[in-house]
Amino acid sequence: MTDESSVPVPASFQQERHWYRRDRTTNGTRRNMAFAARLDAELDHDAFQASVAELAARHEVLRTTLYEDGGEVWQRVHGRPMVSCDVVDLRDRPDGAATAVARVEARLRGEFDLAHGPLATITLFRLTETEHLLAIVCNHVVGDGWSFRIALDELGELYRSRAAGRPAALPPLASQYGDYARWQREWATSADAREHADYWKRLLYGRPGKQLPRHAETGAAGVVPIALGTELTGELRAFARSARTTVFVLLLTAYAIELRDRLGDDDVLVAIAVARRQRPQTHPLIGFFAGAVCLRLSLGGATTFAEAVRRVHDASMSALAHEELDLTAYLRLVEPDRDEDADPIACAGFFFEPPVSGLDFAGIGLTPVELGRDFVPGQVEAALHDDGQRVTGTLSYSAGVLGQDEAAAFAARYRELLATAAHDPNQRI
């Protein structure tokens, strides 16, 4: 394997955006992502590190750095991994688990050098002879949430096959992330892309949404928890089934109503996360495909929660049909001169992770570890997770938008609104 590809590979629009925004904040959690989990088993550490090297050999994006040339951003694919892999022995530390989590959180807040790498770290913390904590931290330019699942699945198979002395049962990859980036550039000039761009232009261009009011006296940025509980989550599932919609739509509806009341405007613009993996070729690839789209939620005239749900459901389905051209691509193709920080489109963010089936590494069950984060969005962001039994998450807010007491009251009203709606969807809002 040569040290570097001789074929120029353009950066994807997502990578390009992160390249140009890399110096705008010192908060790494705006650009980085992490996954950590406990696993209780003895492991062959040499085999684990060899498996990580094989994973990087399989996925070009894990051997990639970025550079700028001729006013364009490019991917440089190296022959050697751009992933650091370490086994850290904490067996002599009584607080080994807490130490491991603190180190992962510190790495999450830190910097990755996009030009020189490495752009990801995979660390196995050895807590006892049979207890480990596995952590993956990367910059967004090489991965997204979907990528973590691929990495865990493939790392497990590579490790298992090495232990069994057989070839890994992984089909060859028909394409690489660089192929997607090339396709994305070509697609951006197509009639299909223009159709998507026209949809978003009609929805967003020249129709600025109202932003949340700022007050200097509200103090510092912060995060408050949101917890719906098992009983309420179950009631919301039943409500979603009867309304022929999803729990995501119910949660988003309550969020939009809370924002409407705070904005004093029935027109609410909310950014939501999308996977953007419509093309089957992208399904087995590690890489940065995820993005965000902006929903324009018009609640004027919706007098009940049930009616608001129908509005939000229809708006969501319409927007998701055009998710291939996400906010990053929209700004690049339709409003290239817009400063997203100074002139945001959405007034808030809403991100929801639905239940996922049990995670494992080489057949060993994984217990995810919650990581603290100090990322605070431009205004307000709700990040919720359904673990299959209950919905929990956080409400993050920036300085000047909410105070700690206001944010806690926002979260309490949000839960109360959902609980009321679960029992009486036709109650007036």
The closest of 136, 404, 92, 419 to 254, measured between CA atoms, is 419
Q: What is the pLDDT of residue 1?
A: 45
- The winner for highest mean pLDDT among 240-249, 342-351, 395-404 is 240-249
Q: What is the mean pLDDT of the chain?
A: 91
Measuring CA to CA, how many Å separate 413 from each of 257, 268, 354? Answer: 10, 18, 22
Q: What is the pLDDT of residue 354?
A: 82
Per-residue pLDDT for 228 more than 50? yes
pLDDT, average across residues 418-427? 94
Q: Which residues contact 189 (CB under 8 A, 6 or more apart)?
A: none
Measuring CA to CA, how many Å separate 236 from each of 227, 240, 250, 253? Answer: 13, 6, 8, 12
Q: What is the pLDDT of residue 4?
A: 60
CB 327 within 8 A of CB 294: yes
CB 115 within 8 A of CB 75: no
Per-residue pLDDT for 373 more than 70? no
CB 124 within 8 A of CB 134: yes
| pLDDT tens track for 282-335 | 999 999 999 999 999 999 999 999 999 999 999 999 999 999 999 999 999 999
**CATH number for the domain running over 9-180:** 3.30.559.10
Per-residue pLDDT for 378 more than 80? no
Q: Same topology for domains 9-180 and 190-423, yes or no?
A: yes
More confident call, 372 vs 347: 347
Q: What is the pLDDT of residue 388?
A: 87
| pLDDT tens track for 1-60 | 445 655 789 999 999 999 998 866 544 456 899 999 999 999 999 999 999 999 999 999
Q: What is the pLDDT of residue 372?
A: 75
In angstroms, the CA 265 to CA 32 distance is: 34
**What are the residue ranges spanned by the domains of the chain?**
9-180, 190-423
The CA-based angle 255-251-368, given to 5 degrees, is 115
Q: What is the pLDDT of residue 342?
A: 78
| pLDDT tens track for 188-224 | 999 999 999 999 999 999 877 788 887 655 567 788 9
| pLDDT tens track for 59-91 | 999 999 999 999 999 999 999 999 999 999 999
CATH of 190-423, one of 3.30.559.30, 3.40.309.10, 3.40.630.30, 3.40.50.720: 3.30.559.30
Give the model's confidence band at 377: pLDDT under 50 very low, under 70 low, under 90 confident, else very high: low
